[in-house]
Amino acid sequence: MSLRFFESFAVALPLEDLELDVPSEPEFLPIAKVGEIPAGEGRCYPVNGRMIALFFADGEYLAIDDVCPHMGASLAGGWVEEGVVTCPWHAWRFCGRQGTWLDNPRSPLRVGTYEVRVEGEDILVRIPRA
């Protein structure tokens, strides 16, 4: 078969008729259940190709990227107190709400943060599609 054979079957469609896989707005996805995470601790969950650290402290849930930008430690293995997530390896501290590196707040270094909400017994995190 030649390329010309295939070209003869090409069909021009209006753009409105094409279904494109365009990334949509980030969506809330259930990743855990209420009560799974003890107060002051975190757990790691794979979501849409990312590793998300979910913490429970002071009656609220915080979600951030799980990997510490310093040496790659799992931040979920650290602890959280008053909204501050501390890396278990070298005690680097990050704001669990804004992702800023609290040991040097003027630094552009940060971790990603994600909106969290609770619906019934489900903990949902707003994650962009990979």
Q: What does the domain layout of the chain look like in residue ranges?
A: 37-127
Per-residue model confidence as pLDDT tens digits over 25-70: 789 999 999 999 999 999 999 998 899 999 999 999 999 999 999 9
Residue with tokens 């409105």: 16
**Contact between residue 125 and residue 27 where contact means Cβ atoms under 8 Å apart:** no
**Contact between residue 54 and residue 96 where contact means Cβ atoms under 8 Å apart:** no
- pLDDT given for residue 6 in this prediction: 39
- pLDDT given for residue 25 in this prediction: 72
- pLDDT given for residue 16 in this prediction: 52
Give, in order, the Cα–Cα distances in Å from 57 to each of 37, 52, 71, 73.
9, 16, 25, 20
4 has pLDDT over 60:
no
Helix (H) or strand (E) segment spanning residue 6: helix 3-7
Return mean pLDDT, the chain: 86
Residue 121 in tokens: 């017994």
Distance CA 12, CA 106 (A): 53
**Contact between residue 62 and residue 85 where contact means Cβ atoms under 8 Å apart:** yes
Q: Is the pLDDT higher at 10 or at 123?
A: 123
Q: Judging by beta carbons within 10 Å of its beta carbon (0-12, 13-18, 19+), is residue 46 exposed, middle or buried?
A: exposed
Superfamily of chain region 37-127:
Rieske [2Fe-2S] iron-sulphur domain (2.102.10.10)
